[in-house]
Structure 1
Amino acid sequence: MKRITIFALIGLLFMVSCTNDDIMNSGNTGPGHGSIRFRLKKSAYIGDINSRTESVNTGDYDKVFFYIADSDGDIMTTVHAKYNALTSEIYAEGLHEGDYNLLVLAIKGDETADRAEINEISCMDDEWLAFPSDLHKPLEAEYFYSCTPFTVRLVPAEGGSTEVISIDSEVTQDRIVGRLDFNFVYNNRYVRNATVEKRVRLAESKFYTSITGGGAFTGESDGIMDDIVLREDIPYLFMPTIAGTVLKGDIFHTSVSYLDEKTVLDFNFDQQEVLPNHAHTVSTAVKHPDDISPVMYITADAYRAGNHARILDDDEPVSVYTNRSQRTFNTAKPLQLSITDDGRLHMRFYSPRVLYGVTVRARIAAVDDEYFDFAYFDSIPAFCDFYESSPLVEKGTMCRTESGRIINVPALDAAAIAGAELKVLSSDPYWAKLQEIKHGWTLYWGLFGGDPSREDGGPVGNWMGIRPVHCRESVAFFLNFTYMIDMDEHEAILHENAGKLYDDNKQPVKVEEVLAKMRRGQTLQVGLVYPGNGVIGLGSPSVYGAYERGWFEHYSNRYACSVMFHELGHVMGYGHSSSFTYGPWAEELMNNFYVDNIGKMPIDSPAYLKSASNPHKYN
């Protein structure tokens, strides 16, 4: 502790304007004659390798208690003092010549959660802060303490009178508590993803329970501590361990694999002591039976942490989403899987909905002629664009084949797995619906001269600039349409109304011909129609466009839906004199069937995309 000597000169006064919080003794509204000012500052944790300490420039406390003690250690009762929370400063007045100690106890957090007692003291030997001996848990608040000696010397000045000058003096507050950080080092990053609980059980936990006004640690806990379930976002704070004791314990690490197999590991740790204002790290090297597994286990948290991109996002550049080489898909294969040349799994999902519980299996010639589990996803986000390297190119692994054989696999180079055959398994009902799309249509997107950066879409003729919000809806509509064309109910309604199907010459069209045209492999460039010219849809065997309302309301608006099917009639090769445009196929059969059966479709609700409320739509 440093000693601060304060001298006084006649006629000199330092005034401060501030808002004061009464903490201890009442006094004047600010520093004045004979006043001293101290500014509180937090110290950093010693040994804080995890950089969890907040700014140490100011106090920023929730509560501050302080006393001034004389040279005998007795608390001064004639001093007026105030604490200014805005500036983290203490003002004291009424001191005479002599040696003193400024005692400060500060709290960050809720001390009631720790059942803390703050006592009034009359001397530095009194117990100031105390915790119950049977607390049995870490502390939730941080507690800071300082004892700063200072001396007041009065210097005679002209006129024979003396006055104390206010001098800025910085007081560093150290924490009474120590912090335990629990770090885990994994040999397989996917074991981290499988972790469901980390629990600490302290075998020896004797801590001090109190501190005196003079800073002496006293009291002793009963040695019992409840199990602590570890969370990464919570610091674990304790009073210092009793001198001469060693803190020991067990860490129970529980994981559940993608196969729902539970593994509990027990690791011992031996921490020498907990010191005040120190951050101690307990590091655990997790040796796990799944360390040699090749399976990429991707949980939702792991996916977010990987910062993976999404396709057709609102901020995706127009040069990307209208580039056919970068953005195109077939509705029968909305989940695109491949292994990149550098050995990464690439997954791209053209879907407005999340897919759950997905196992990816691989067959790699360099490994075996059977498929084996390659990756597992708790969930695959809508429109995901996932890239991640496989453990197969990082280290030797042990694979389980589909027939149950266990095979050792040395580390492979990227070329060895680049030609892998991949397949997907999932019990998600949504995946079952996607699998029922047998006759896929291929889509990509175009501007047709429009400009999506302009507020009006930069219309050119009957087109305007399509935006990602419309592209996503086109994915939804065509997934539903290509699912619908193989529904038994859809085929039945065509047969029941075969007399309403005719071409531009008013000649009957057989149901089989209609189904064949709907089910043939079609490739369309999709765009957004500008309705300002009175046109709300455009279609040909290679182009498909609809106005914004059509894209947003195809789920429930029968008129908007009839527009969508009118243009599909053109895609199938029919004109305006047929039943497939201005006629019963588009305006009676298909639009009503689609709306009435939307609950059976893969994308059964506009709630997945919420396009109508998207801020990037046109106004």
Structure 2
Amino acid sequence: GIYAGLSANGEYSGTESIESYDITENRSFYSLPSKEALSGFVTFESNRSDGTSFVHKYRFSNCKIEAGRISHISIDYRHPESLDGLLYIREEDFSRFRTDTMFLANEPRDIFYNSKHRSFYVNAPLQVSISDEHQLLVKFFSPIAIHDVTILCRFNKISTEFLELAHFDLIYPFMEATFPLPVVSSDRTFTTSSGRKIVIPAQPELSGDDVTLVIRTEDPYMKKIEQIDSRWFIRFSAYSADNGHAYWRHMNPLLCRHGVALATNMAFMFSSEEFNTEMNRYEGKLKDNGGNAINLDALRQRIRSHGGLVLGRVSGVGGLGGGTTYGLADYCYTGVYFDATPLGSNPHNYARQAMFHEYGHCLGYNHSSTMTYGDQWTVLCATVFVNMGQEDKLPVSSKDVIANLPM
């Protein structure tokens, strides 16, 4: 029903039909006028958030295309999930949101030294919260990517059930990102953990106090993290780097990344069956500051209940430690991985010795104990640490994990 030609005298002639025209890019179609009102179909091909596709087909009629005028076809199209509250993020969606990476090379000190921005618990590296802008804030203190993560939410004043608030196909290493939540601006339908549908009214002033958030995932890395039985709080400090101190120096973002891996690996190792089995062989050999044998169960409890580590950087010595103070030289942060030394070499290298020597101080032991010097505690720890790394049992086994990340 569309004229096919326009002559020099302004007369239209001929006829052509339109069988199919893709308007994906600009939603417009340019043509000569129509002889009469047109009818036909508009077909929508789209995807659901889980990747499955569907087709909706709408009929239109009485569309007259006139010379010099714009004609419209209006379709009341709604995506099947247009009123759903679930925020579904695929890897290709990140470019649409405010996403960043922590500990990039140019990250300023006032960020990575600020525990409000850069701190975590070793048994909870994935942090989800509601930001001051009423958005979902995600931080992941890990050099390992994880997949298929669902965030469950309970609106404390509205429902006693947990709802599916967000799903991520991927959370990339050291991710820091914020995502607008659909329920902030309009009523949304959610699916409860029991499969029931529930409508939550718009939450324009949504805050952290309004919700309880829970993370659900079967990712192998997070399954390892679940085995950590301590709750060490990890953050970073300059200590006396600006005061002319003989040993303290400033951290940098790369060392912060290695520090995340080191603290996570150490906490995981201390929670492992491999470590506890090997430590039993040292019954009576681990001595306290007075030379008395340390009760191994009491030592395990002391490790579990330790408050955490404030990571710093030293130069001129291998490390400084005590309480929560934990400073290591550069080569200690980077040289403790199993593949930082040749295969078959003595696992008790200087970097690993310093790593566990300083943690012995953090547990309250001095140089008169066997928890710092001697071939006891540090040898025990270094041997298990290397063996678990070689067998890829640690959360971050190889030095290449961090070396291959973009800075």
Separation in structure 2 between the aligned mates of residue 300 and residue 614 of structure 1, nearest angstrom: 17
Does structure 1 retain, via aligned residues, the 8 Å contact 2:130–2:207?
A: no
Match of residue 268 from structure 2: 483
Match of residue 549 from structure 1: 331
Q: How far is the alpha carbon of 1:459 from its aligned partner?
A: 6.9
Which of 404, 429, 433 in structure 1 is aligned with 2:224?
433
1:608 correspondence with 2:405: no
Does structure 1 retain, via aligned residues, the 8 Å contact 2:238–2:250?
A: yes
Q: AA paired with 1:596?
A: N
SS of the residue corresponding to residue 103 of structure 2 reads coil
Provide the aligned length of Structure 1 versus Structure 2. Answer: 380
Q: How far is the alpha carbon of 1:371 from its aligned partner?
A: 0.7
Deviations 1:178-198 (A, max 9, x none): xxxxxxxxxxxxxxxxxxxxx
Which of 309, 312, 321 in structure 2 is aligned with 1:539?
321
1:293 correspondence with 2:84: yes
1:408 correspondence with 2:190: no
Separation in structure 1 between the aligned mates of residue 285 and residue 47 of structure 2, nearest angstrom: 61
SS of the residue corresponding to residue 234 of structure 2 reads strand
Distance 1:241 1:440, change over 3 A: same
Q: AA paired with 1:604?
A: S
Which of 132, 141, 147 in structure 2 is aligned with 1:356?
147
User: Larger relative CO (CA 8 A, sep 6+): 1 or 2?
Assistant: 2
Q: AA paired with 1:565?
A: F
SS of the residue corresponding to residue 512 of structure 1 reads helix
Q: Map 1:179-194 onto structure 2 (within 5 A).
A: none
Match of residue 256 from structure 1: 48
Match of residue 68 from structure 2: none
Q: AA paired with 2:272?
A: M
Q: Map 1:41-440 onto structure 2 (within 5 A).
A: 250-258=42-50, 263-266=54-57, 286-415=77-206, 418-440=209-231
SS of the residue corresponding to residue 414 of structure 1 reads coil
Separation in structure 1 between the aligned mates of residue 106 and residue 17 of structure 2, nearest angstrom: 58
Does structure 1 retain, via aligned residues, the 8 Å contact 2:2–2:34?
A: no
Does structure 2 retain, via aligned residues, the 8 Å contact 1:357–1:428?
A: yes
Q: AA paired with 1:550?
A: C
Q: How far is the alpha carbon of 1:331 from its aligned partner?
A: 0.8
Deviations 1:110-136 (A, max 9, x none): xxxxxxxxxxxxxxxxxxxxxxxxxxx
SS of the residue corresponding to residue 93 of structure 2 reads helix
Separation in structure 2 between the aligned mates of residue 389 and residue 417 of structure 1, nearest angstrom: 14
Q: How far is the alpha carbon of 1:562 from its aligned partner?
A: 2.2
Distance 1:591 1:614, change over 3 A: farther
Q: How far is the alpha carbon of 1:435 from its aligned partner?
A: 1.6
Q: Which range moved further: 436-445 or 502-511?
A: 502-511
Does structure 1 retain, via aligned residues, the 8 Å contact 2:250–2:313?
A: yes
Which of 295, 305, 310 in structure 2 is aligned with 1:510?
295
Q: How far is the alpha carbon of 1:224 from its aligned partner?
A: 8.2
Q: AA paired with 1:485?
A: F
Does structure 1 retain, via aligned residues, the 8 Å contact 2:139–2:177?
A: yes
Does structure 2 retain, via aligned residues, the 8 Å contact 1:206–1:223?
A: no
Does structure 1 retain, via aligned residues, the 8 Å contact 2:184–2:204?
A: yes
Q: AA paired with 1:547?
A: A
Q: How far is the alpha carbon of 1:269 from its aligned partner?
A: 8.3
Q: How far is the alpha carbon of 1:388 from its aligned partner?
A: 2.4
Does structure 1 retain, via aligned residues, the 8 Å contact 2:34–2:64?
A: no
Match of residue 54 from structure 1: none
Q: How far is the alpha carbon of 1:523 from its aligned partner?
A: 2.9
Q: How far is the alpha carbon of 1:466 from its aligned partner?
A: 0.5
Separation in structure 2 between the aligned mates of residue 207 and residue 297 of structure 1, nearest angstrom: 46
Deviations 1:83-126 (A, max 9, x none): xxxxxxxxxxxxxxxxxxxxxxxxxxxxxxxxxxxxxxxxxxxx
Distance 1:282 1:309, change over 3 A: farther
Match of residue 135 from structure 1: none
Gaps of 5+ in 2: 6-14, 66-70, 341-346
Match of residue 384 from structure 2: 593
Separation in structure 1 between the aligned mates of residue 277 and residue 2 of structure 2, nearest angstrom: 75
Q: AA paired with 1:468?
A: P
Match of residue 495 from structure 1: 280
Does structure 1 retain, via aligned residues, the 8 Å contact 2:328–2:355?
A: yes
Separation in structure 2 between the aligned mates of residue 466 and residue 548 of structure 1, nearest angstrom: 9
Q: How far is the alpha carbon of 1:312 from its aligned partner?
A: 2.5
Q: How far is the alpha carbon of 1:575 from its aligned partner?
A: 2.0
1:463 correspondence with 2:248: yes
Distance 1:492 1:409, change over 3 A: same
Distance 1:269 1:444, change over 3 A: farther
Q: Which has the higher strand share?
A: 1
Q: AA paired with 1:324?
A: S
Q: AA paired with 2:267?
A: T
Does structure 2 retain, via aligned residues, the 8 Å contact 1:341–1:418?
A: no
Q: Map 1:559-578 onto structure 2 (within 5 A).
A: 559=349, 560-578=351-369
Q: AA paired with 2:262?
A: F
Does structure 2 retain, via aligned residues, the 8 Å contact 1:448–1:460?
A: no
Match of residue 309 from structure 2: 524
SS of the residue corresponding to residue 381 of structure 2 reads helix
Separation in structure 2 between the aligned mates of residue 365 and residue 550 of structure 1, nearest angstrom: 46
Distance 1:247 1:319, change over 3 A: farther
Distance 1:375 1:508, change over 3 A: same
Q: How far is the alpha carbon of 1:470 from its aligned partner?
A: 0.7
Q: Map 1:448-459 onto structure 2 (within 5 A).
A: 448-450=239-241
Q: How far is the alpha carbon of 1:249 from its aligned partner?
A: 6.5
User: Which of 1 and 2 has greater Rg?
Assistant: 1
Deviations 1:151-192 (A, max 9, x none): xxxxxxxxxxxxxxxxxxxxxxxxxxxxxxxxxxxxxxxxxx
Q: How far is the alpha carbon of 1:357 from its aligned partner?
A: 0.7
SS of the residue corresponding to residue 263 of structure 2 reads helix
Distance 1:586 1:397, change over 3 A: same
Distance 1:221 1:508, change over 3 A: farther
Alignment identity in percent?
25
Separation in structure 2 between the aligned mates of residue 577 and residue 470 of structure 1, nearest angstrom: 31
Q: AA paired with 1:482?
A: A
Deviations 1:296-345 (A, max 9, x none): 11222222321323332222211111123332211122122222344222
Does structure 1 retain, via aligned residues, the 8 Å contact 2:3–2:33?
A: no
Does structure 1 retain, via aligned residues, the 8 Å contact 2:265–2:396?
A: yes
Q: AA paired with 1:308?
A: T
- What is the aligned-residue RMSD (CA, Å)? 3.6
Distance 1:266 1:605, change over 3 A: farther
Separation in structure 2 between the aligned mates of residue 281 and residue 500 of structure 1, nearest angstrom: 86
Q: How far is the alpha carbon of 1:581 from its aligned partner?
A: 1.8
